[in-house]
């Protein structure tokens, strides 16, 4: 009886095992795995199809085969950290937004690609600016290539279009927090049933720090400075933070901000689009907003475009130190930035099937498909590809236009004076952990206005004191001063 059960179970399991499509690989070529985070809905069938198309192309051109590993973005870091313990990973995306590059390097996860890059084609070398190379380097060694993206962004707010039209608000003329405040109070009075202001995403009031403070000096993430200065402070003691939070605290007290802000699990933009909220903050960039969010209007610029260190290359592509084929992996990595056909296939899939080109040379969903139903899911995930400029497909004239626009943008962005400074915290990881916890504890609460900064500042200071914050900060400041003097 039991034997029959077991046999049945095993057969069933084996049948299911064969359901997954076998990876296509040619015996004499090296197969590399490429790990990309995604938030899109995609089917494995479509990915396999694109993989086949890519392999046909790069097999001939580079004598390589690739195995695409898409992982849900929420699981991505955990997945690659595990996978990088083995030789499963060749080329992978990794996030460095919170200063993690130093951890990846300290843990020996990433391959040092300095020499490969030095010997690479001129085309690849010219793809990256000096800032971008610094952003993917530590102690003058290079560990990855940054995702091509514009530097920083300005801060704006997104408003619900219907209300804007109903109340005849001139959105573009709103360029200061005071003007925004005035509009918010008017709207709150007229539409008391909807949230006047919601956090940009979940419990984060804003992703954009440009109107607040200069975050993350160099590659550390505990030291801040007010814009234009090089005096390091704790986040909670910067003037920019205090000023921003004075507004939000007032709004919160007056019921303009959702009182659930701290346990919110929604995105601001969807709430504004759906009409359940009027306003959320936004970090604008070269792309026009209206195409991204329907039913919204963007205000004027609340804070100018500035770039902090982690804005440049907060998402990078590199090679796992445990890769069995580092040389081939570098070829593949380079191709992601320099080979238009490969990059386009990777980002959008197969033309006609997963995307079509409109007359402006931009990729669009094929007729009848949306972000939810398009099976390869490329677009919705363009945020995570190596080269965001593939948005207008590379071979078109529009790509050159976009490239020019971004270069213009980058030239005008104010880059933090401390850019390029690096303070090694690898022997202070206990402090970094303790600090991260402390910041988590207060940051969102204060920024959403749920708590008044003045009420908790003494407590924060004493907690900072107790984890040795000010000692580390003084050391960092000394190193920064030295760096600036030498610069």
Is residue 243 part of the contact set for other proteins (CB under 8 A)? Answer: no
Region of 58-66, 238-246, 351-359, 430-438 interacting with other proteins (CB under 8 A)? 430-438
Is residue 149 part of the contact set for other proteins (CB under 8 A)? Answer: yes
Q: How far is the CB of 199 from other proteins (least distance, A)?
A: 9
Tell which one of 30, 32, 34, 42 touches other proteins (CB under 8 A).
42
Tell which one of 166, 228, 429, 475 touches other proteins (CB under 8 A).
429
Tell which one of 28, 122, 359, 372 touches other proteins (CB under 8 A).
372
Tell which one of 181, 237, 243, 287 touches other proteins (CB under 8 A).
287
Burial zone of 397 (CB within 10 Å; 0-12 exposed, 13-18 middle, 19+ buried)? exposed
Is residue 190 part of the contact set for other proteins (CB under 8 A)? Answer: no
Is residue 75 part of the contact set for other proteins (CB under 8 A)? Answer: yes
Kindly tell me which of 38 and 65 has the beta carbon lying closer to other proteins: 38
Q: How far is the CB of 50 from other proteins (least distance, A)?
A: 14
Is residue 6 part of the contact set for other proteins (CB under 8 A)? Answer: yes
Region of 69-77, 113-121, 239-247, 408-416 interacting with other proteins (CB under 8 A)? 69-77
| Contacts (CB under 8 A) with other proteins, residues 299-338 | 310, 314-315, 320-322
Count of chain residues binding other proteins (CB under 8 A): 113
Tell which one of 12, 324, 397, 404 touches other proteins (CB under 8 A).
12
Tell which one of 26, 56, 63, 108 touches other proteins (CB under 8 A).
108
Q: How far is the CB of 186 from other proteins (least distance, A)?
A: 21
Q: How far is the CB of 457 from other proteins (least distance, A)?
A: 15
Tell which one of 19, 27, 411, 485 touches other proteins (CB under 8 A).
19
Tell which one of 230, 382, 396, 405 touches other proteins (CB under 8 A).
382
Kindly tell me which of 192 and 352 has the beta carbon lying closer to other proteins: 192
């Amino acid at each position: 009886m039991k034997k029959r059960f077991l046999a049945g179970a095993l057969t069933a399991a084996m049948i299911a095992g064969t359901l997954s499509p076998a990876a296509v690989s040619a015996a004499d070529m090296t197969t590399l795995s490429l790990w990309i985070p995604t938030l899109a809905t995609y089917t494995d069938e479509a990915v396999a199809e694109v993989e086949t198309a890519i392999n046909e192309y790069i097999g001939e051109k580079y004598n390589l085969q690739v195995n695409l590993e898409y992982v849900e973005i929420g699981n991505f870091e955990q997945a690659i950290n595990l996978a990088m313990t083995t030789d499963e990973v060749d080329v992978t995306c990794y996030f460095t937004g919170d200063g993690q590059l130093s951890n990846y390097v300290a843990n020996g996860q990433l391959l040092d690609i300095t020499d490969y890059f030095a010997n690479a084609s001129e085309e690849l070398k010219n793809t990256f600016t000096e800032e971008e190379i610094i952003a993917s380097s530590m102690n003058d060694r290079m560990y990855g290539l940054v995702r091509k993206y514009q530097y920083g962004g300005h801060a704006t707010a997104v408003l619900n279009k219907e209300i804007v039209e109903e109340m005849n608000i001139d959105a573009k003329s709103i360029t200061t927090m005071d003007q925004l405040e005035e509009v918010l109070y008017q709207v709150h009075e007229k539409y008391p049933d909807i949230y006047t202001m919601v956090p940009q995403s979940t419990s984060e009031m804003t992703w954009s720090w440009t109107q607040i403070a200069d975050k993350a000096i160099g590659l550390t993430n505990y030291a801040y400075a007010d814009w234009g200065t090089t005096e390091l402070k704790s986040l909670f003691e910067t003037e920019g933070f205090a000023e921003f939070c004075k507004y939000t605290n007032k709004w919160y007290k007056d019921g303009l901000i959702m009182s659930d802000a701290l346990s919110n699990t929604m995105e601001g933009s969807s709430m504004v689009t759906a009409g359940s909220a009027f306003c959320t903050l936004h970090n604008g960039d070269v792309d026009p907003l209206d195409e991204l969010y329907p039913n919204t209007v963007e205000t004027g610029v609340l804070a100018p475009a500035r770039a902090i260190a982690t804005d440049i290359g907060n998402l990078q592509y590199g090679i796992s130190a445990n890769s069995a084929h580092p040389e081939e992996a570098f070829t593949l990595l380079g191709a992601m930035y320099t080979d238009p056909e490969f990059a386009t296939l990777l980002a959008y899939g197969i033309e006609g099937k997963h995307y079509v080109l409109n007359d402006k040379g931009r990729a669009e969903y094929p007729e009848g498909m949306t972000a939810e139903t398009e099976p390869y899911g490329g677009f919705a995930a363009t945020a995570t590809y190596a080269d965001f400029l593939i948005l207008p497909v590379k071979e078109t004239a529009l790509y050159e236009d976009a490239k020019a626009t971004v270069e213009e943008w980058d030239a005008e962005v104010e880059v933090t004076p401390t850019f390029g400074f690096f303070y090694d915290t690898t022997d202070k990881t206990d402090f970094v952990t303790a600090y991260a916890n402390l910041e988590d504890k207060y940051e969102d609460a204060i920024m959403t206005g749920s708590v008044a900064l003045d009420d908790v500042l003494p407590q924060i200071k004493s907690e900072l004191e107790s984890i040795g914050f000010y000692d580390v900060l003084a050391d960092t400041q000394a190193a920064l001063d030295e760096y600036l003097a030498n610069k």
